Amino acid sequence: MVAGGAKLFIFETRKLNPAPVDRAFTLFQNPLGLDHISFEVEDVDRVYAEAKAMGITFNGEPKDQTWGARMVSLRDPDGNNLYLLKWLRK
């Protein structure tokens, strides 16, 4: 979905109403259900540095992915996996 400059990517589950499960910081190897939410940002490294300075904990540091984006992951307070990404090429 696109609204102005915001883009929301939604990954469909394969099962209705899945039971809550723990999820690892992997992109596609988790059990069925909501896997993650990705946010496209203008500068992953800047957003990471600003958020980390405010005390937000990340799963690692931003890095380039083989599938074409620079990305960093974290968990929200409810345990959902979140990804901040910037496409390397359009």
Domain spanning 2-11+35-87, CATH class: alpha beta
Q: Using 50, 70 and 90 to split pLDDT, how confident is the model at 16?
A: low
How far is the CA of 71 from the CAs of 4, 28, 39, 58, in angstroms?
Answer: 22, 15, 10, 11
Q: How far apart are CA 38 and CA 1, in angstroms?
A: 12
Cβ atoms of residues 81 and 37 within 8 Å: yes
User: Is this model's pTM higher than 0.75 or not?
Assistant: no
Residue type, 78: D
- Band the pLDDT of 20: cuts 50, 70, 90: low
Distance CA 82, CA 23 (A): 11
Judged against a pLDDT cut of 90, whether residue 36 lies above it is answered with: no
Q: Which amino acid is at 31?
A: P
pLDDT tens for residues 39-77?
899 999 999 999 999 999 999 999 999 989 999 999 887
pLDDT band at 17 (very low <50, low <70, confident <90, very high): low
Residue 8: how many CA atoms within 13 Å on its side-chain side?
Answer: 6
For the chain, give every domain's residue range. 2-11+35-87
